[in-house]
Amino acid sequence: MMDIGLGAFSVFFTQAPSFLAYQRHLEKTHGTSNAQTLFGMTKIPTDNHIRDMLDPIAPKYLNPVYASVFEALKDGGYLESYRSLNNTILVAIDGTQYHGSKKIHCANCNCKTHKNGTKSYSHTVVTPVIVAPGKSKVFPMEPEFVTPQDGNTKQDCENQAAKRWIEEFGERCRKLGVTILGDDLYCHQPFCKLLLNKGLSFIFSCKPDSHKTLYEWVEELDDLNNVQTITVKRRHGIKKFIDTYRFVNQVPIRDGDDALMVNWCEITTATESDGKIIYHNAFATNYEINNDNVVEIVEAGRTRWKIENENNNTLKTKGYHLTHNYGHGKQQLSSLLCSMIIMAFLFHTLLEIDDERYRLIRRKISRRDVFFNDQRALTGYICFNSWNDLFSFMLRGRERRFTLEELLDTS
């Protein structure tokens, strides 16, 4: 089973769908392969055997690996540099679909019946990610999958999956000091109260259409001149902008006597030259808002977009092929492989900050696709004794012209 797990993970870590096939050829011709030397496999499993054996395994069995990386980040002091608002760590949550089909499905798919009677099947994963303003790197945490739950006749949904994640990892987040970020989907009383009960703070996008009572209060308080406003002028290059912030504390998130009271703020950005509005958004939070912190709260709320840009978009378009069907299976396979893809991205991110050779070679080969194409080609033809040997080989090849004999000398 270790060989099978490593065999599946090696495909995602190397971003090489044919990695195992090339390694079988190397083993046949050279007596050994990178599957053995780099990944520690004793035997190279076939693709079909991997799919059959991994299908029953739930993705939660990979959670201890995520936890070990999280502890390494914490013990290494890397997370401290990600502290921002109120000295907390920002964790953005969002759901993203990684499988959709009208034919291929399994027992864990969510099913939608359309008006014409046809059905479509999908898989969605909630991907909590550690983010920070001004930081390009993000750290994905344990994913939670939207799957039908035992004993529940209703379809599962993103919001319920996020609640399960908070229930499981809320205590860890509380000890670390976490502020949860999310879109309007999460800006509702049950989820907000769950976070507060777990000792967590939140900043969520807050739209007028889904929070009519809240915005009625804001409008009435604005008429009474109880909504505070500040403006900030800033320059980006040669362009000048005006950011207008409005905020008010203690407004109900919904109608009813038991409504949770939250604090609301919004930002409107306009160009100074012609007053054209180029950005607008609003947020609800449990943080008390004042003139001194409204800019920082809005900046933290806007950081939620990093989960889309630096995480989900990277997983789908930067070589990880999250939405590709590597094998759907009949039980857990699709979700397990999805978790491995996210884990591969996490490992690559950790290597970029903690491994000198990896960081150096990535600086020399800044384009992700070029780096993995080079690695894919090299491991298909040459067997390396270790990852250090592979990275040293790539570095020497980038530093100056070498003869073939010099390049092949990995000593």
Taking the CA of residue 334 as centre, how many other CA atoms within 13 Å lie in the half-sphere pointing to its CB? 27
Residue that terminates a domain, selected from 265, 287, 317: 317
Query: In the prediction, which pLDDT does 156 show?
Result: 87
Same-domain pairing of 46 and 81: no
Query: In the prediction, which pLDDT does 411 show?
Result: 45
Same-domain pairing of 78 and 122: yes
Question: Which domain range does residue 284 map to?
Answer: 59-317
Domain presence at residue 323: no
Are 357 and 395 in contact by the 8 Å Cβ rule? The answer is yes
Domain presence at residue 337: no
Same-domain pairing of 64 and 44: no
Same-domain pairing of 295 and 363: no
Domain presence at residue 347: no
Beta-strand pair 89-92/178-182: parallel
Same-domain pairing of 227 and 369: no
Domain presence at residue 255: yes
Query: In the prediction, which pLDDT does 143 show?
Result: 98
Domain presence at residue 184: yes
Same-domain pairing of 290 and 377: no
Q: How many domains does the chain have?
A: 2
Q: How many other C-beta atoms lie within 10 A of the C-beta of residue 177?
A: 15
Q: What is the mean pLDDT of each run of 10 residues along the chain (411 residues)?
A: 97 96 95 97 96 96 96 92 97 96 91 90 96 95 90 79 97 97 97 98 97 98 97 93 98 97 98 94 98 98 95 93 93 96 96 90 88 94 94 80 54 45
Same-domain pairing of 198 and 159: yes
Domain presence at residue 326: no
C-alpha span between 9 and 92 (Å, rounded): 25
Domain presence at residue 381: yes
Residue that terminates a domain, selected from 302, 317, 332: 317
Same-domain pairing of 100 and 46: no
CA proximity to 87, closest of 150, 167, 178, 3: 178
Same-domain pairing of 165 and 63: yes
Same-domain pairing of 43 and 78: no
Same-domain pairing of 294 and 398: no
Same-domain pairing of 33 and 153: no
What stretch of H or E contains 279?
strand 277-285
Q: Which residues contact 331 (CB under 8 A, 6 or more apart)?
A: 55, 56, 106, 107, 108
Are 122 and 112 in contact by the 8 Å Cβ rule? The answer is yes
Domain presence at residue 127: yes
C-alpha span between 221 and 27 (Å, rounded): 74
C-alpha span between 270 and 268 (Å, rounded): 7
CATH number at residue 234: 3.90.350.10
